[in-house]
Amino acid sequence: MAGPAHHILDLPSFETAPKLLIVVAPYYKDIAEGLVAGALAEVDRVGGSHEVTEVPGALEIPTAIGMAERLSNFDGYVALGCVIRGETTHYETVCNDSSRGLMLLGLQGLAIGNGILTVEHHDQAAVRADPQGQNKGGGAAAAALHLIALARRWGGARKGVGFASEILLAGKTGGDGTA
C-alpha cells in the first residue's frame, strides 16, 4: 500500500541567476555522487550557477558553509552527505551536530538546503540519493532555491549601522546639509 502523496512546490524563477555552493562529504562516494547529480540538475533547471566543494565528513559541512558565507559571495548553499548508523553512538553525534550547525546558520539568514542523509543502512541511502528515485540531493537544492527566492523577495535595503554618510545626509537634506 502506497503512503500519502507529497506535495512538492514548483521551483521559483529568478531575474538574476542564483549562485550556489554545494558542499558534499563524499565518505560514501556512490551515495555522494547521486546526491550531487540530483542537486546539480535542480540548480540547472533555474539557470543557476554552482560550485561543488568536498569536505572530509558531515561534521565539516556547516563549518565550510559558514566560512564560504564570510569569505565568498554565494546566494545559497546545499549540504550533501550520508551518515549510516554504526555500532557506536558516534552516529547520533554526527547526525545531531551537523543538523544543528546547519540550522543555526539558517537562523542567521543563510539559505541552506539540508541533504545530509541519516539512515540505518546503505540500501536506504542508495534509494534516497538516486536522482531517478527519491532524489534527496535535488530536494535539498530546491529547498535552497526557495529560500534564496524568499531572501530576495524580503531583502530590500538594509538599515545602516552607526553613522549616516555625507551622501545619505545630502540626499535627505536637500544637498546643503541643513534639515
Helices and strands (H, E) in the chain, number of each type: 6, 4
Domain residue limits at 151: 19-173
90 is annotated as an active-site residue = yes
Q: What is the pLDDT of residue 167?
A: 46
- Averaged over successive runs of 10 residues, the pLDDT of the chain (179 residues) comes to 81 97 98 98 98 98 98 98 94 96 98 98 98 97 98 72 48 45
Confirm whether 131 is domain-assigned. Answer: yes
User: What CATH code is carried by the domain that includes residue 69?
Assistant: 3.40.50.960
- Beta carbons of 167 and 177 less than 8 angstroms apart: no
pTM summary value: 0.85
Q: What is the DSSP letter of 77?
A: E
179 in any annotated domain: no
- Catalytic pick among 7, 50, 90, 121: 90
Has residue 163 been placed in a domain? yes
- Is 8 within the bounds of a domain? no
Domain contains 167: yes
76 falls within a domain: yes
Q: What's the pLDDT score for residue 4? A: 80
Domain count, the chain: 1
Structure confidence at residue 74 (pLDDT): 98
Residue 77 lies in a domain: yes
Give the HSE-up count for residue 129: Cα atoms under 13 Å, Cβ half-sphere.
28
pLDDT at 5: 80
Q: Strand order of the sheet with strand 76-84?
A: 49-54, 19-24, 76-84, 112-119
